């Protein structure tokens, strides 16, 4: 069995199954994204399989022929396959059935994303939030997953970090822990409200950097504040809300807040668990919606950056965020053609430090209009 303590240095081999359920699902985009999630979780993808689901199989999601094909591949593969990643939200019994068929552990999209969060959580608050998400993910699956951990077990990835010993727990203990975690998170949230009031007393406007994961939010904060801020070409590099004061050239100041990135089908357990963090970001006076404009590949009538924007806007709307938003198209250094901009849009490159002054003028103008 993989030693979880050293799992950051050992790469597990994975087989990926991409499940397409809607006509509008774009295969290449979905495969790209799930592979990037695997990369962000230090998995080594050996092979990708996919299936268009027409008749939904309740027991295994994918059809029995596909299960057999993948089983054969795993058995005959030269590499030892440690895990099968299914790009779909599986129930506990579906996970168990697939795991028994493949004889390796099976992890779904939700488990994989929670796992990336578990590995990246640094602050006490982020750790508590991830633990809550893990517990809420595990609770409805507990009875199926109990006793199945280990080499051929269902759980593994998705259960690292704070919650890795959970399978020994019973339902009652887990429920108590969930209640206690919620209390602890609420307490931190209250402390934050006080801190925020202090800020509001100082009358500084709050600007939140929001957007799809890997769009360049932290890079922009780094460029603006000239501070050492962690950025990485991996999904979910940032898990903690980070706020910094910023001074405009006329001497006025604002508070800039960087936060966790969005992704399509962001697990609801994570949205719930991180709600206090997200609320803080979305209660800002102005939202800078950072977009990776280099994602120009078009499928099913929509460019990738456009569908990422839709995911972000939908989540912002559902969280009740202000519609005072400026769209910051980042990574323009990777664009081969110029693009037309609307009134509330700017084009920048944090890499080449291009367009930053124009963006700052737009932000200043927007904030001045709020007063
Ligand atoms: N070419 C290019 N790359 C950029 C630019 N801005 C950021 N990047 C790269 O994009 C990757 C993601 O940047 P981050 O700033 O970590 O993105 P983020 O939005 O904070 O991502 P998460 O925290 O994971 O949600 C990094 O590898 C950056 O170096 C840019 O203007 N041009
Ligand atoms: Mg970041």
Q: Concatenate the DSSP letters of all residues of 193-236 into one string.
A: HHHHHHHHHTTPPEEEEEEBTTSSHHHHHHHHH-------SSTT
CATH topology of domain 4-171: Rossmann fold (3.40.50)
For residue 298, what are its two tokens? Answer: 């078009």
Alpha-carbon torsion (268, 37, 41, 189), positive or negative? negative
Å from CA of 208 to ligand 1 middle: 16
Evaluate if residue 55 carries a pLDDT over 50.
yes
The span from the CA of 352 to the CA of 332, in Å, is 9
Least confident of 149-153, 178-182, 310-314, 357-361: 149-153
Domain-wise residue ranges, the chain: 4-171, 202-370
Q: Confirm or reject: Cβ of 229 under 6 Å from ligand 1.
A: no
Could you check whether 4-171 and 202-370 share the same CATH topology? Answer: yes
Q: pTM, whole model, 2 decimals?
A: 0.86
Q: Confirm or reject: Cβ of 109 under 6 Å from ligand 1.
A: no
Identify the nearest ligand to the CA of 292 by its number.
Answer: 1
Å from CA of 155 to ligand 2 middle: 28
pLDDT band at 280 (very low <50, low <70, confident <90, very high): confident
pLDDT tens by residue, 175-202: 999 999 999 998 988 877 666 656 656 6
Distance of CA 120 to the CA centre of its chain: 11
Query: For ligand 1, atom 2, which residue shows the shortest CA distance?
Result: 331
Å from CA of 237 to ligand 2 middle: 5
Report the Cα–Cα distance between both ends of the chain, in Å, rounded.
Answer: 60
Å from CA of 217 to ligand 2 middle: 5
For residue 155, what are its two tokens? Answer: 């759980």
Q: Confirm or reject: Cβ of 235 under 6 Å from ligand 1.
A: yes
Class of the CATH domain delimited by 202-370 = alpha beta
């Amino acid at each position: 069995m993989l030693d979880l303590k050293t799992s950051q240095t050992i790469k597990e081999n994975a087989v990926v199954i991409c499940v397409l359920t809607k006509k509008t699902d774009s295969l290449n985009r979905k495969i790209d994204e799930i592979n990037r999630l695997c990369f962000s979780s230090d998995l080594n993808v050996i092979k990708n399989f996919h299936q268009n689901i027409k008749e939904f199989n309740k027991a295994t999601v994918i059809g029995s022929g596909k299960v057999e094909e993948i089983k054969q591949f795993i058995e005959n593969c030269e590499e030892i396959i440690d895990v099968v990643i299914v790009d779909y939200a599986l129930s506990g019994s579906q996970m168990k059935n697939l795991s028994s068929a493949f004889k390796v552990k099976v992890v779904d999209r939700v488990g994989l994303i929670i796992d990336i969060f578990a590995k990246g959580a640094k602050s006490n608050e982020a750790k508590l939030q991830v633990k809550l998400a893990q517990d809420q993910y595990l609770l409805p699956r507990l009875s199926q997953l109990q006793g199945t951990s280990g080499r051929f077990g269902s759980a593994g990835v998705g259960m690292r970090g704070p919650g890795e010993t959970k399978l020994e727990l019973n339902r009652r203990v887990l429920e108590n822990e969930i209640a206690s975690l919620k209390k602890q998170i609420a307490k931190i949230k209250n402390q934050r409200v006080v801190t925020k009031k202090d800020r509001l007393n100082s009358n500084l406007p709050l600007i939140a950097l929001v957007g799809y994961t890997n769009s360049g939010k932290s890079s922009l904060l780094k460029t603006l504040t000239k501070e050492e801020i962690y950025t990485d070409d991996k999904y979910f590099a940032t898990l903690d809300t980070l706020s910094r004061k910023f001074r405009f050239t006329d001497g006025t100041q604002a508070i800039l807040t960087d936060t966790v990135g969005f992704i399509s089908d962001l697990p609801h357990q994570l949205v719930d668990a991180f709600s206090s963090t997200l609320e803080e970001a979305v209660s800002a006076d102005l939202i800078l919606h950072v977009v990776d404009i280099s994602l120009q590949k078009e499928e099913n009538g929509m460019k990738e950056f456009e569908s990422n924007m839709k995911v972000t806007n939908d989540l912002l709307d559902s969280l009740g965020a202000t519609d005072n938003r400026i769209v910051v198209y980042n990574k323009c250094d990777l664009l081969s053609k110029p693009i037309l901009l609307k009134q509330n849009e700017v084009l920048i490159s944090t890499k080449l430090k291009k367009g930053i002054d124009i963006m700052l003028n737009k932000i200043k103008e927007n904030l001045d209009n709020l007063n």
